[in-house]
Every structure is written in C-alpha cells, then in structure tokens.
C-alpha cells in the first residue's frame, strides 16, 4: 500500500504496565511513556504521516482487554479515522495471540488499517512477516502465563510469611509506612471496631449495632477510607454510606483483629480475566501473630461463642433460594431472609439499619415464588399455545426481514467494490496509453481509492450487523428451548432460580389487605 498525494493519518498507541514500573532501570526507554511518544512521533514525521491522536494507557498489562485508551483506539479504527496504528512493539499493543489474530490479521485489513510495531519490525503490510507476528504473539502468551504463575508463587510465599497482600488494610488497621506488608492499628477506626465487639458481647444484635453507628453518623468502612483519602471517591448512593448487617458480621468474624492474617480466600480464574473464584477453606493461608491485635482474646472468644449460639440454619440448613437475587425496589439494596415461626420472609436490609432512609421492600418467600412461577408459566404458555410453524414465524420474521435488507445492501456494496476495482484498472490503462495525464490519473485514482475504502468499511459494518442478527436469532431460539424445558416446573429451588433469574426487584404491598399484591419486577437471564 503506497501513500502518495494525499494525507495519511496514523494513531500512536503507548502503554506503560505495572511490571515495567517494577523494573530496576527507571531510565530505560521501555519504562517511559514520554520516550515511547518521542520515538513514534519522530517515525511518523519521517514518513510524513499526520498524527490523528496519541492513545495512552498507564499501569495496564498487555493482557488487559479493559484498557480504556486501547478500546478507544479500536472504536476509532472501526470508524476509519486513520490508516495506520503505530506502536513501539506488537507486545505494547497486545500480548494475546487471540487479539493479534482478531485485529492485526482480520479486522484491521478489513478496515484498511496497517499496523506497525517499530522495534520488532511487525508490519501488516509486509505479508512475509505474518508468521513472525504470530510467533511473537505465541511467545507473548507464554510470557503472560509464566508471569502470572511467578506472581502467584511470589504472593503465596509472602502470605505464608505473614505479609499482608492487598490494596487496602482491613478496617481498623492501616499499612505500616516503614514496613511493607505489615499492619498497624488505625486509632480512630480501631475504637469503632472495639465498640462493635463490646456491643455484641453485651447482647446487642448486628442490625442494632449497624443502626446505632448510622444514627451516630459514623462512616462505614468504605466511606471512611474515602474520607481519609485511602480510596478514590466513588459515586456513592445515600445507602452506600450506611453500615450494613454484613459489614458488622464480617468484622465480628475476622481474625485480623486478634493479630492473625487469613489470606488467599479467592483466586483468579485465569490471567486473561479479573474474575475471581472462591478457594476452598482448607487451602486458605492462615498465619498467627503477624501484627498487634485490636481485640483481646477473651472478648474475641466470647463473641465467637455468641455467634455460634445465635446461628440459625434455614429449614434445610442451606441458603435461601433467593440469596443475592432479591433487591429492594426503592433503594436497590440486597434483601435479607427472615424466619418467623414456620414462615420465611424477604425484607429490605436498609430499612432495618436506617428506618427513615427507605420505604422498605417486603414479601413472603412463598408469595415471591408464586409470582415468579406465574410469570414463567405465562411466558411458556405463549409458546405452547402456538404450533411449531407459528413459533418459528414469531421468533424470526422480524429479524429475518432486517437481515434480508442488510443482505441486499451487502450485495450492492460488493458489486460496487468490484466495479470500482475494474474502473481503477481501466483508469490505469488510460494513463499508460496517454488518454489521461499523470495529474489527472493521480486525482481520479485518489478519489476512487477513497470510495474503495469507504465501500470496504460499509461491507465490514454490514457483515457485523448480519452476525449480530444471527446471534439474536440464536438467543431467541435458546429462550424458546429454555422455556419449553421449564414447562413442568411447579416449584422453585436454589439451582432453578440461579439458572433462570439475574435478579428480582421487590416493593411493598400498598394495602394492608392480603389481596393487595407486592410489586415485583423479574429480570430473567434469557
């Protein structure tokens, strides 16, 4: 691809990762965003390319797909705002082989974009080094895997030695500025922790403790850290600043307050995702006497005995079927299960800890189960009342109509692209035969190339839209299959709820009469 007689725009991408910052030689070019920018700007200037924008991600790994500047660049590339992506190296752009194939070898060519990695000679215009780029991508994958495992080993070793590993210290403590990995008491927060233990030991319940702290205007752990400048300020709701039942429960059962560290409760699914999974309790790393305790052993033991005595299992000794699924319609807070006699209820936790802050969602578990089953059976009946032909028609007619329109436009653009190629070849022959001048040829060919690029982009967009519709059709069919499989369900359980429901919003009955219905909004997973 030759860039002549028209402006060529390039995008510069720079990335500085955390592992770079941990290297010893701070003056190394690879460690400086500024040096990356200077190098790439100089290269662009030498080639007479105009810089559309410099995209910079600071403190992100090459496997992090959530990089904001990286994703902004991809969106701008998709919209055809530049013709070249310029990086220091392929690994600065991505270390994942999957993304190398997806963007460098699939989408970038479709969008008319050339990728250049300066120091490792990665250039998608050079067809001969595709295998080298793929090998680099594979080597970078191995590097990430090895790096991930090495980091895990280092962190595990430090945990076993009693070092605190984590972004924030537990409420009541702060990080020791003179001793990395060591905790020291935070005097102000430590007083609140001690108060919580004393109140509970004297017979005050967890909800009552939370309500007292809220009435006294004492900030909860998260809001306290924000006030201290330890955490970044977040968009907190009014209820997000309140003490909750679970925060009191967590404090009362955390061994950190008697000088012990219990770590390694969660582990990453893989180096490619930030998602964590719980680790079995027997694999937790527990080290005693790592720091000064806030709670005396006698007080701790008393509290643990009370917790054991007050623990009441549900009817079957398991979590309620709507655990982590039911939310208050008014404040968005999670709802707790309460048992009265032989009946189980779901009630807004915020209402209990701060009565004036929320209207308070409330519903019996049996009533919620009946409401969900009624809506589920109504959806099922819509499908069962129609024969198979009608079902298929209802599912796909609208989407198929949209797809046909897109297919028609796609064919038109593909035909247009062929004609443009033919016209350009004819134009070249006219130039060779002297029918048109060199200046006329340059002007006309530039116009045709622009039309060609626009046509290719539209073809790519149409193909993407068609794929999206095909995915929608699959989702509709999947929904139908799920509903038909649920036709025989007459009673819910934890597994069914977890499979079918994302979450449920629960309001409050507007009348005291039993016939009044509790407003419920069900957010299904399908």
* Mean pLDDT lowest among 210-214, 232-236, 401-405, 459-463: 232-236
* pLDDT tens-place string over residues 304-354: 998 888 765 443 433 467 877 888 888 887 788 877 777 888 888 777 777
* Mean pLDDT lowest among 11-15, 23-27, 29-33, 266-270: 23-27
Res 189: pLDDT: 94
* pLDDT tens-place string over residues 166-216: 878 999 999 999 988 899 999 999 999 999 999 999 988 888 898 899 889
Res 19: pLDDT: 47
Burial label for 328, CB within 10 Å (0-12, 13-18, 19+), is buried
CB count within 10 Å of CB 38 equals: 12
**Cα(27)–Cα(25) distance, rounded to whole angstroms?**
5
* Mean pLDDT lowest among 67-71, 256-260, 333-337: 333-337
What separation in angstroms does the CA of 449 have from each of 286, 426, 430?
Answer: 66, 14, 17
CB-based contact 123:71 (threshold 8 Å): no
Res 198: pLDDT: 94
Res 488: pLDDT: 65
Please determine, for residue 393, whether its predicted confidence score (pLDDT) is greater than 50.
no
pTM of the model: 0.47
What average pLDDT score do residues 250-274 get? 78
CA Rg, the chain, in Å?
31
CB-based contact 92:11 (threshold 8 Å): no
Bigger pLDDT: 270 or 69? 69
| Continuous H helices in 175-235 | 187-201, 206-215, 221-227
The token pair that represents 358 in the structure block: 């929320």
Strand ranges (E), 281-436? 285-287, 326-328, 335-340, 343-348, 362-364
**Cα(49)–Cα(85) distance, rounded to whole angstroms?**
11
* Mean pLDDT lowest among 84-98, 147-161, 388-402, 491-505: 388-402
pLDDT band at 406 (very low <50, low <70, confident <90, very high): confident
Of 333, 395, 412, 375, the C-alpha closest to 486 is: 375
| Continuous H helices in 29-102 | 33-46, 68-78, 90-93, 97-99
Please determine, for residue 2, whether its predicted confidence score (pLDDT) is greater than 60.
no
Res 29: pLDDT: 39
Please determine, for residue 28, whether its predicted confidence score (pLDDT) is greater than 50.
no
* Cross-strand bridge partners of residue 14: 56
Strand ranges (E), 137-274? 173-175, 183-185, 261-263, 266-268
Report, in this order, helix, strand and coil percent for the chain, each rounded to 5.
50, 15, 35
Identify the H or E element spanning 524. Answer: strand 520-524
CB count within 10 Å of CB 37 equals: 16
* pLDDT tens-place string over residues 408-446: 888 887 887 777 777 777 767 777 777 777 777 777 777
Centroid of chain to Cα 441? 51
């Amino acid at each position: 691809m030759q860039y002549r007689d028209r402006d060529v725009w390039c995008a510069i991408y720079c990335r500085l990762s955390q592992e770079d910052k941990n290297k010893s030689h701070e003056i190394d070019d690879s460690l400086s965003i500024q040096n990356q920018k200077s190098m790439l700007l100089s290269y662009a200037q030498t080639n007479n390319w105009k810089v559309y924008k410099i995209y910079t991600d600071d403190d992100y790994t090459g496997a992090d797909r959530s990089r904001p500047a990286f994703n902004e660049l991809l969106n701008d590339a998709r919209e055809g705002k530049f013709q070249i992506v310029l990086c220091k190296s392929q690994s600065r752009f991505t270390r994942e082989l999957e993304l190398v194939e997806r963007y460098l070898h699939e989408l970038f060519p479709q969008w008319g974009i050339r990728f250049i990695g300066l120091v490792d000679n990665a250039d998608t215009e050079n067809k001969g080094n595709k295998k080298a780029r793929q090998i680099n991508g594979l080597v970078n994958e191995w590097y990430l895997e090895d790096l991930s495992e090495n980091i895990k080993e280092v962190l595990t070793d430090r945990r076993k030695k009693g070092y605190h590993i984590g972004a924030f210290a537990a409420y009541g403590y702060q990080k020791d500025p003179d001793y990395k990995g060591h905790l020291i008491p935070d005097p102000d927060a430590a007083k609140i922790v001690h108060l919580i233990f004393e109140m509970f030991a004297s017979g005050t319940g967890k909800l009552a403790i939370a309500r007292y702290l809220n009435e006294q205007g004492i900030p909860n752990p998260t809001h306290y850290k924000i006030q201290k400048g330890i955490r970044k300020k977040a968009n907190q709701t009014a209820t997000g600043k309140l003490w909750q039942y679970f925060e009191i429960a967590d404090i009362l059962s955390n061994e950190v307050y008697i000088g012990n560290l219990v770590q390694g409760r969660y582990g990453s699914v893989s180096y490619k995702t930030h998602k964590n999974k719980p680790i079995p309790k027997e694999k937790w790393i527990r080290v005693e006497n790592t720091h000064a305790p806030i709670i005396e052993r006698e007080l701790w033991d008393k509290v643990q005995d009370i917790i054991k005595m007050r623990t009441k299992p549900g009817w079957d000794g398991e979590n309620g079927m709507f655990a982590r699924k039911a939310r208050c319609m008014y404040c968005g807070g999670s709802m707790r299960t309460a048992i009265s006699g032989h009946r189980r209820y779901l009630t807004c936790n915020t209402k209990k800890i701060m009565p004036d802050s929320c209207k308070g969602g409330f519903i019996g578990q049996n009533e919620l189960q009946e409401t969900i089953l009624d809506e589920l059976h109504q959806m099922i009946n819509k499908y069962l009342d129609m024969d198979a032909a009608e079902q298929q028609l209802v599912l796909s007619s609208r989407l198929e109509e949209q797809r046909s329109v897109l297919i028609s436009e796609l064919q038109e653009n593909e035909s247009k692209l062929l004609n443009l190629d033919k016209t350009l070849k004819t134009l070249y022959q006219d130039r060779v035969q002297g029918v048109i001048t060199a200046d006329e040829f340059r002007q006309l060919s530039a116009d045709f190339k622009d039309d060609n690029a626009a046509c290719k982009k539209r073809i790519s967009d149409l193909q993407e839209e068609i794929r999206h519709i095909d995915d929608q059709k699959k989702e509709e069919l999947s929904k139908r299959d799920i509903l038909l499989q649920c036709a025989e369900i007459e009673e819910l359980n934890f597994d069914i709820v977890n499979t079918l429901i994302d979450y449920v919003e629960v309001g409050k009955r507007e009348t005291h009469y039993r016939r009044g219905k509790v407003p419920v909004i069900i957010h299904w997973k399908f």
